[in-house]
Chains A and B, each alone.
Chain A
Amino acid sequence: MAEFINLALLALLALTALRIIFLKDLFSVVMLFGIYSFLSASIFLNLDAVDVAFTEASVGAGISTVLMLGTLALTGRKEKASKHSSCLPLVVVCVTGAVLIYGTLDMPPFGDPNNPAHQHVAPRYIEESLKEVGLPNMVTSVLASYRGFDTLGEVVVVFAAAIGVLSLLGIRRQKDELVADTGLKEHRVLHVIAKLIIPLIILFALYVQFHGDFGPGGGFQAGVIAAAAFILYTLVFGLKRTFVVVSPKFLAWMASIGVLVYACVGLFSMFKGGQFLDYNQLAADPIAGQHYGIIIIELGVGITVFAAMLSIFYAFESQVERSNVQ
């Protein structure tokens, strides 16, 4: 049954990608891209990558789609007909595709336990991580402990991207420039329901943040889900009212604090006499030290991702509202 679901979902995914090529209405392209992300998340789930499915569903489908829609509101939704002939790209793509298909024939068969990928580092993670780190979720142990330095790099990349977007677009801080009642003000039912479910979303984000050690989830996903709650608030009630709740300046502080918390854990373990990000030094018992370390750095990741994603959204949304005023 799992194989059948895999076949069917991949076929639907290929169809969606094919349809996106021929659509000229960019609004529809972005909506189909949302479907594409959802489908690929279901495929990840079916291939046992629970955490990846979680991230793709929240980050890929949610944030990218919202940002693309915001861009379309600024750039217009019609793609003009291209004047180039599409012959040359088609030939290039077909030749490259044929070469790659030829290359796949040398790949190990799908799902074989004797594949080279499963021989080298993975057995250690699978067999030892419960003893060494003490968390049931191997993905979290590898992410936060074994490859903690790598994850620090990723968090810095997210932080840098937020700085990049803010320096390119900037958030309008003058309150007068924003209209008092933007957002979907005609939709009364939406106002009531949004007020009802936003607390539920934040609650769920906290659950994901702190349950990530035992089930799917963790800082990246929790940060995005918490940001999604405020994005929903902005979409329904307008940017001006959201600025009262979470101001852009506060977010800038939060984003840096998250990275600093992460890096400080590393420095603290060095101070205790271990290597950078060596959590065993954080407490007398190595396992307890690992637990403290992972909880704190996941919190740092969550705070940074939340602040970075929300400020990126603020930047786009303030552009949209400004262009709407003019």
Chain B
Amino acid sequence: MSFVLDYYNYWVVVFLMMTGFYIVISANNLVKKIVGLNIFQTSVFMLYITVGKVSGGTAPIVTEGVSLYSNPLPHVLILTAIVVGVATTALGLSLVVRIKRAYGTVEENEFENKDDAI
């Protein structure tokens, strides 16, 4: 049981990562692909935060009577990564909007065909 508890988080992270990966490579719609990318991204965040957790520790804000804190470094890295992630998502979505305007569709196979026609 303790073996499962030790590795459960990592397994869920791998599962989420593969779910996101599957959506990115199999979905036809560009918006859905971006959702897949975001799922992938969140799984990486989860991995970092899992690594930073210390059992019995508490959030890294100094309070009286607490001596064991979780690792603050992964938190900082992920905090900025989330904001940058949203910035890239916004850029991706605006590219999708432009593709819709140029080709009239956001389905991958459809605008590929149109590209050949041009």
Q: Give residues in A with beta carbon < 8 Å to B.
A: 3, 6-7, 10-11, 13-14, 17-18, 20-21, 26, 29-30, 33, 36-37, 40, 43-44, 47-52, 55-56, 59-60, 63-64, 67-68, 70-72, 74-76, 79-84, 86, 89-90, 92-94, 96-97, 100-101, 104-105, 107, 109-113, 115, 117-118, 121-122, 125-126, 130, 136-139, 142-143, 147, 150-151, 154, 157-158, 160-162, 164-165, 168-169, 214-216, 220, 224, 305, 308-309, 312, 315-316, 319
Most chain A CB within 10 A, of B34, B45, B59, B98, is at B59
Q: Give residues in B with beta carbon < 8 Å to A.
A: 5-12, 14-23, 25-32, 34-35, 38-39, 42, 45-46, 49-63, 68-76, 78-80, 82-91, 93-98, 100, 106-107, 109-110
Q: In the complex the two chains form, is A80's CB within 8 Å of B29's CB?
A: yes
CA distance A50 to B76 in the complex (A): 11
Q: Which residue of chain A has its CB nearest to the CB of B71?
A: A122
Report which of B15, B35, B58, B84 forms a contact with A30, defined as CB distance below 8 A.
B35
CA distance A147 to B30 in the complex (A): 35
Q: In the complex the two chains form, is B94's CB within 8 Å of A169's CB?
A: yes
Which residues of the partner chain B approach A220 to less than 8 Å between Cβ atoms? 79-80, 83
CA distance A82 to B112 in the complex (A): 13
Which residues of the partner chain B approach A84 to less than 8 Å between Cβ atoms? 26, 28, 109
Q: Which residue of chain B has its CB nearest to the CB of A11?
A: B12
Q: In the complex the two chains form, is B80's CB within 8 Å of A154's CB?
A: yes
Q: In the complex the two chains form, is B97's CB within 8 Å of A75's CB?
A: yes
Which residues of the partner chain A approach B26 to less than 8 Å between Cβ atoms? 82, 84, 86, 89-90
Q: In the complex the two chains form, is B62's CB within 8 Å of A138's CB?
A: yes
Count A/B pairs, Cβ under 8 Å. Answer: 285
Q: In the complex the two chains form, is B82's CB within 8 Å of A56's CB?
A: yes
Q: In the complex the two chains form, is A169's CB within 8 Å of B18's CB?
A: no
CA distance A104 to B4 in the complex (A): 12
Q: Which residue of chain B has its CB nearest to the CB of A219?
A: B83
CA distance A100 to B19 in the complex (A): 13
**What are 21 pairs between A and B in contact, CB < 8 Å?**
A13-B12, A14-B19, A17-B16, A21-B23, A26-B32, A49-B52, A49-B70, A51-B79, A59-B82, A71-B93, A71-B97, A75-B96, A84-B109, A104-B10, A104-B11, A104-B14, A122-B72, A136-B62, A154-B83, A216-B61, A312-B94
Nearest 3 Cβ contacts at the A-B interface: A161-B87, A111-B55, A109-B6
Q: In the complex the two chains form, is A37's CB within 8 Å of B10's CB?
A: no
Q: In the complex the two chains form, is A111's CB within 8 Å of B22's CB?
A: no
Which residues of the partner chain B approach A3 to less than 8 Å between Cβ atoms? 5
Please report whether the interface of chain B is mostly helix, strand, loop or mixed according to DSSP: helix
CA distance A37 to B83 in the complex (A): 13
Most chain A CB within 10 A, of B34, B69, B86, is at B86
Q: In the complex the two chains form, is A10's CB within 8 Å of B83's CB?
A: no
Which residues of the partner chain A approach B83 to less than 8 Å between Cβ atoms? 55, 59, 154, 158, 220, 224, 305
CA distance A11 to B11 in the complex (A): 11
Q: In the complex the two chains form, is A110's CB within 8 Å of B78's CB?
A: no
Q: In the complex the two chains form, is A20's CB within 8 Å of B23's CB?
A: yes
Known A20-B35, A47-B70, A154-B84; 5 more pairs at CB < 8 Å:
A81-B28, A158-B83, A164-B91, A168-B97, A216-B61
Which residues of the partner chain A approach B98 to less than 8 Å between Cβ atoms? 168-169
Which residues of the partner chain A approach B17 to less than 8 Å between Cβ atoms? 97, 100
